[in-house]
């Protein structure tokens, strides 16, 4: 009994999976450019997302220059400042985080972790990347069109997104909307692949309740995205029609007569946030999943409360569709909605809190190796707890009223959906780089990168909450002489700007590490972290096209058999058959005490 792997569903018969035919190209271009291999597509996604993400990072530095040292730089005028704000936000949320977590990590990890040879539709998967690249290029073209990119904020609220007084209303807003439409088309191609692969292409024995939480997180996020992005898609198309064809979906009659009448700006906000709130979880759920695997692997302990973790992911995913209007408490919608949306929003805190408890309880009574991925995971926990708790301010309708549209909001959402997922992404890159390249990332550079990023981002965003408490509004080019804003706010802005530059500079060490270790890193071997999940059990490192050699792996156990009592090693990979003593206990749900 004490010897058995934990598996609540070990009585389920293993599914039979048919072999799939793969196209094995011979040329360099076929292998690395027009590749249908999910692993190559993942790297393509990763590089493209990082490249456009660096642009957004530079934009944030320009904003910080203006806020830290207002009226100093002649290139930053109010219009360009708003353009930085808008492009920074949209790039980071959609083109970096969504693309990186689903496009890059989803593509790399789903087939390997499920024990599949590739995504179910490799050709569509390849198209998905190229369409994404097109979306990025159209978005970037906004910087070069007359008038520059849109300055309507990443939320693109009409009427100002298409009305005089806002930068980029001629071309910038069009490139933005068209790019989003293209992005959503590309994402749908990839997203359908991820969902179908998880549901249909798992190897023998890989039941749903044996999936690593990474796959659960990415899977659920993809389901959310497939349901949420259409709302954004129609919102974009309707605004394009308002802008180009003179319709009035979102355009009321306005003082500056533009021929519009009768549209509803609030309709756009509902559509936008019906996408926008699930989007938070589209970013968060993969991060939740990945960090679960980082914590378990490096703490040498099973994830605590696996089933609760899976159900929490599903519950959060479901609830995320009924909380959107908490972004609109002071939007002028019927204020009675506040009762409903505050309640649903605070309910979502329960499964989220449970996940936090279970991560910490996984560390508890573990055997914690403080490897670089683990440091990032701990950094995530600390940051996410902070960001989650500040969400309880903003989700609770009454508390939100004085804080909305202030720097409290900026601090909150950067903590919870910028820094927290990015720390997980960094941890994940340190964790899986050895599998992707066969070499370890440099440890000292990794430590440097972690410490500066973790402490630096906290120094940037934690004080912002207090500025917001005092009432400092967001999206302001300058604060001028405002009686209730204390002089020390300017000092804080200088400090935050310096911290931002330090953090940004430290990312150079990371980029350098990625490049240098590719050639000079220590050989990793197939399973450097002694992990249990299937991607570490491939016959080749890096895995070749098709992943598994001649035979698909067969799965016999859940993904978290760390520290199994009586076992020789402190981990048992998922494809290791049960020992005789183990199998006799199979089906009883043994291991639970």
Partner 1 sequence: MAIVVVLLALLIGSILFYFLSPWHLTPLASNWGSIDGTIQITWIVTGLVFAAVNLFLVYAIIRYRYRRDRRASYQPEDKKLEYWLTGLTAVGISALLAPGLFVWGRFVNVPADAHIVEAVGQQWNWRFRFPGEDGAFGRVSTALVSADNPFGMDPDDPLGRDDVLVDAPKVVLPVDQPVRVMLRSQDVIHNFQVAQFRAKMDLVPGQVSYFWFTPTRKGDFEILCAELCGVGHFAMRGKVEVAEPDRFEDWLSEKPTYRDVRSRDGGDPAAGEARYAPCAGCHGPKGQGMRETGAPKLAGQSPWYLIRQLQHFKSGLRGTHEADTRGQQMRPFARTLPDYEAMADVVAYIGTFPDKAPARTLSGDSDRGERLYDTCAACHGAQGQGDHQSNAPRLAGLSDWYLKRQLEKFQAGIRGGHPDDMYGWQMVEMAKVLVDESGIRDVVSHITTLPRKQTTVADASDAGRSE
Touching partner 1, residues 32-91 (CB under 8 A): 70-74, 77-79, 82
- Regarding 245 and contact with partner 1 (CB under 8 A), the answer is no
Q: Interacting stretch for partner 1, rule CB under 8 A, among 343-351, 416-424, 429-437, 524-532?
A: 343-351
Instruction: Provide DSSP, 459-480.
Output: HHHHHHHHHHHHTPBSS-S---
Q: Minimum distance from CB of 250 to partner 1 (Å)?
A: 9
Does residue 559 contact residue 574 with C-beta atoms inside 8 Å?
Answer: yes
Query: Taking CA 30 as the corner, what is the angle to CA 26 and CA 36, rounded to the nearest 5 degrees?
Result: 115
Residues from 502 through 561 that contact partner 1 (CB under 8 A):
560
Instruction: Give 200 or 486: the residue with its C-beta nearer to partner 1.
Output: 486
Instruction: Give 85 or 96: the residue with its C-beta nearer to partner 1.
Output: 85
Q: Select the residue interacting with partner 1 from 342, 416, 509, 534 (CB under 8 A).
A: 342
Q: What are phi and psi of 297, to 5 degrees?
A: -60, -45
Question: Helices 122-141 and 38-68, interaxial angle, to 10°?
Answer: 20
What mask, x for binding partner 1 by CB under 8 A, covers residues 172 to 211?
----------------------------------------
**Residue 495 Cα to chain centre, angstroms:** 28
Instruction: Give 271 or 514: the residue with its C-beta nearer to partner 1.
Output: 271
Q: Minimum distance from CB of 384 to partner 1 (Å)?
A: 10
- Regarding 448 and contact with partner 1 (CB under 8 A), the answer is no
Instruction: Give 395 or 553: the residue with its C-beta nearer to partner 1.
Output: 395
- Regarding 230 and contact with partner 1 (CB under 8 A), the answer is no
Q: Minimum distance from CB of 252 to partner 1 (Å)?
A: 3
- Regarding 266 and contact with partner 1 (CB under 8 A), the answer is yes
- Regarding 471 and contact with partner 1 (CB under 8 A), the answer is yes
Residues from 93 through 122 that contact partner 1 (CB under 8 A):
none
Max CA distance (Å), the chain: 81
- Regarding 483 and contact with partner 1 (CB under 8 A), the answer is yes
Q: Minimum distance from CB of 254 to partner 1 (Å)?
A: 5
- Regarding 382 and contact with partner 1 (CB under 8 A), the answer is yes
Q: Select the residue interacting with partner 1 from 263, 373, 446, 573 (CB under 8 A).
A: 263
- Regarding 166 and contact with partner 1 (CB under 8 A), the answer is yes
Both tokens of 203, joined, read: 């190897």
Q: What is the DSSP letter of 485?
A: S
Q: Select the residue interacting with partner 1 from 167, 212, 521, 546 (CB under 8 A).
A: 167
Give which of 317, 314, 239 is closest to 280, Cα–Cα.
Answer: 317
- Regarding 354 and contact with partner 1 (CB under 8 A), the answer is yes
Q: Select the residue interacting with partner 1 from 14, 30, 230, 252 (CB under 8 A).
A: 252
Both tokens of 347, joined, read: 């309910």
Both tokens of 87, joined, read: 């492009």
**Residue 556 Cα to chain centre, angstroms:** 30
- Regarding 130 and contact with partner 1 (CB under 8 A), the answer is no
Question: Helices 265-299 and 420-437, interaxial angle, to 10°?
Answer: 50
In Å, how far are 33, 223, 286, 421, 503 from 216, measured between CA atoms?
29, 11, 8, 16, 31
Q: Select the residue interacting with partner 1 from 265, 318, 438, 586 (CB under 8 A).
A: 265
Does residue 372 contact residue 430 with C-beta atoms inside 8 Å?
Answer: yes
- Regarding 568 and contact with partner 1 (CB under 8 A), the answer is no
Give which of 247, 232, 224, 144 is closest to 181, Cα–Cα.
Answer: 232
Distance from C-alpha of 577 to C-alpha of 560, rounded to nearest angstrom: 14
Give which of 528, 543, 536, 545 is closest to 574, Cα–Cα.
Answer: 536
Task: Match 């600390």 to its residue by tokens.
Answer: 382
Instruction: Give 49 or 440: the residue with its C-beta nearer to partner 1.
Output: 440
Instruction: Give 100 or 287: the residue with its C-beta nearer to partner 1.
Output: 287
- Regarding 165 and contact with partner 1 (CB under 8 A), the answer is yes
Q: Minimum distance from CB of 593 to partner 1 (Å)?
A: 6
Size of the site for partner 1 (CB under 8 A): 131
Does residue 233 contact residue 196 with C-beta atoms inside 8 Å?
Answer: no
Q: Interacting stretch for partner 1, rule CB under 8 A, among 103-111, 177-185, 186-194, 347-355?
A: 347-355
Both tokens of 211, joined, read: 């999936």
In Å, how far are 198, 296, 341, 346 from 396, measured between CA atoms?
36, 33, 9, 7
Contacts of 202 (CB under 8 A, 6+ apart): 15, 17, 114, 115, 116, 208, 211
Q: Minimum distance from CB of 227 to partner 1 (Å)?
A: 26
Instruction: Give 108 or 458: the residue with its C-beta nearer to partner 1.
Output: 458
- Regarding 587 and contact with partner 1 (CB under 8 A), the answer is no
Q: Select the residue interacting with partner 1 from 54, 314, 368, 554 (CB under 8 A).
A: 368
Residues from 284 through 313 that contact partner 1 (CB under 8 A):
299-302, 304-308
- Regarding 147 and contact with partner 1 (CB under 8 A), the answer is yes
- Regarding 577 and contact with partner 1 (CB under 8 A), the answer is no
Distance from C-alpha of 502 to C-alpha of 456, rounded to nearest angstrom: 7
Does residue 179 contact residue 138 with C-beta atoms inside 8 Å?
Answer: yes
- Regarding 494 and contact with partner 1 (CB under 8 A), the answer is no
């Amino acid at each position: 009994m004490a010897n058995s792997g934990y598996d609540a569903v070990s009585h389920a018969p293993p599914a039979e999976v048919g072999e799939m035919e793969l196209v094995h190209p011979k040329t360099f271009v076929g292998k690395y450019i027009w590749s249908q291999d999910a692993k190559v597509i993942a790297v393509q996604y990763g590089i493209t997302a990082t490249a456009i993400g660096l642009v957004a990072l530079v934009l944030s530095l320009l904003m910080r220059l203006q806020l830290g040292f207002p009226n100093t730089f002649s290139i930053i005028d109010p219009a360009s400042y708003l353009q930085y704000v808008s492009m920074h936000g949209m790039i980071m949320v959609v083109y970096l985080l969504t693309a990186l977590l689903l496009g890059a990590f989803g593509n790399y990890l789903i087939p390997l972790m499920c024990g599949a040879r590739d995504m179910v539709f490799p050709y569509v998967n390849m198209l998905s990347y190229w369409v994404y690249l097109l979306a990025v290029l159209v978005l970037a073209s906004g910087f070069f069109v007359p008038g520059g990119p849109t300055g309507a904020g990443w939320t693109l609220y009409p009427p100002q997104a298409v009305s005089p007084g806002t930068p980029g209303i001629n071309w910038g807003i069009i490139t933005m909307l068209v790019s989003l439409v293209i992005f959503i088309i590309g994402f749908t191609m990839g997203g359908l692949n991820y969902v179908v692969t998880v549901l249909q292409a798992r190897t023998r024995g890989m039941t749903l309740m044996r999936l690593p939480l990474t796959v659960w997180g990415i899977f659920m996020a993809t389901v959310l995205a497939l349901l949420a992005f259409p709302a954004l898609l129609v919102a974009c198309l309707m605004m394009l029609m308002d802008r180009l064809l003179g319709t009035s979906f979102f355009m009321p009659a306005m003082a500056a007569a533009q021929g519009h009448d009768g549209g509803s700006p609030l309709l756009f906000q509902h559509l936008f946030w019906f996408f926008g709130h699930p989007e938070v979880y589209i970013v968060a759920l993969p991060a939740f999943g990945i960090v679960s695997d980082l914590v378990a692997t490096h703490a040498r302990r099973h994830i605590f409360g696996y089933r609760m973790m899976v159900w929490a992911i599903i519950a959060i995913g479901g609830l995320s569709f009924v909380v959107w209007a908490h972004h609109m408490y002071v939007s002028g919608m019927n204020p009675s909605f506040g009762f409903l949306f505050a309640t649903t929003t605070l309910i979502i805190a329960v499964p989220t809190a449970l996940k936090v408890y279970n991560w910490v309880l996984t560390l508890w009574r573990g055997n914690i190796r403080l490897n670089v991925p683990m440091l990032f995971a701990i950094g995530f926990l600390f940051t996410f707890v902070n960001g989650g708790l500040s969400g309880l301010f903003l989700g609770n309708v009454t508390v939100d009223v004085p804080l909305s549209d202030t720097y409290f909001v900026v601090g909150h959402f950067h903590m919870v959906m910028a820094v927290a997922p990015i720390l997980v992404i960094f941890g994940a890159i340190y964790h899986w780089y050895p599998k992707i390249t066969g070499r370890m990332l440099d440890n000292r550079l990794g430590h440097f990168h972690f410490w500066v990023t973790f402490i630096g981002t906290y120094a940037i965003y934690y004080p912002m909450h207090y500025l917001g408490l005092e009432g400092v509004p967001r999206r302001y080019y300058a604060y001028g002489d405002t009686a209730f804003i204390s002089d020390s706010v300017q000092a804080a802005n200088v400090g935050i700007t310096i911290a931002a530059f330090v953090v940004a500079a430290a990312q150079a060490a990371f980029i350098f590490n990625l490049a240098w270790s590719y050639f000079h890193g220590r050989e990793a071997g197939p399973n450097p972290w002694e992990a249990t999940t299937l991607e570490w059990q491939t016959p080749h490192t890096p895995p070749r096209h098709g992943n598994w050699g001649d035979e698909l792996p067969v799965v016999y156990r859940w993904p978290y058999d760390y520290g199994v009592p009586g076992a020789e090693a402190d981990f048992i990979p998922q494809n290791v058959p049960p020992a005789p003593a183990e199998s006799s206990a199979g089906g009883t749900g043994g291991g639970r005490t």
